Amino acid sequence: MYYELIVQTEKREQFINITAGLNGLLGDSGTEEGTCTVFVSHTTTGVTVNEDADPAVMDDLLRFLKRMVPLQGGYSHREGNSDAHIKASLIGSSLHLIVRKGILDLGTWQGIFLGEFDGPRTRTVKLWID
C-alpha cells in the first residue's frame, strides 16, 4: 500500500519530526504488523532516526553537518547547493522500519526526522506499507 506525506519546510536547513505523520498513515492503512519503507524523493533531503525528546540533539546534528560540509567548498555543481546533495548522501534517503501494534516499532527515545538541506520547499515522503 502506497501513501505520501507532504511536508512544508520552513528554513534552508532543518530537521522536521515526521513520526506522528507516518504513524497517522499507518493508522489509515489499518496495518497491525509488518514493515514499511520510508523514502524521500528528493536529492537534497535525507531521513534519519534519532532522539525525539530533547530538540537540542537534532540542533547539534544539524550544526555538525553544516560545519563538516560547508556551504562554500569549491564545488563544481553550479546551482550552489552541492553541500545539500552531500548531506543527503551522508544521512541517506531511505529507511526500512518495523510496524507492531499498528505503529512504528521504535525505541523509547526514537523518532523519524526529515532532513531538509536546501529549503524551504514542499517535500514528498513516500511510504510503502508491506
3-state secondary structure (DSSP) of residue 109: coil
CA distance 112 to 53: 12
Site string for a copy of itself, 69-88 (x = CB under 8 A): x---x-xxxxx--x--xx-x
Residue corresponding to grid cell 517535500: 123
Determine if residue 101 is left, alpha or beta; phi over 0 gives left, psi from -120 to 50 gives alpha, anything else beta: left
Residue 103 interacting with a copy of itself (CB under 8 A): no
Rule CB under 8 A: is residue 6 a binding residue for a copy of itself?
no
| Lookup result for grid cell 513520526 | 19
CA–CA separation, 62 and 1 (whole Å) = 32
Which of 20, 59, 102, 120 binds a copy of itself (CB under 8 A)? It is: 59
Min dist. Cβ of residue 54 to a copy of itself (A): 6
Q: What share of the chain is helix, strand, coil (3-state, %, to 5)?
A: 25, 40, 35
Q: What is the size of the binding site for a copy of itself (CB under 8 A)?
A: 55
130 binds a copy of itself (CB under 8 A): yes
Binding site for a copy of itself (CB under 8 A): 2, 33-35, 37, 39-43, 48-51, 54, 56-57, 59-61, 63-64, 68-69, 73, 75-79, 82, 85-86, 88-98, 100, 105-110, 124, 126, 128, 130
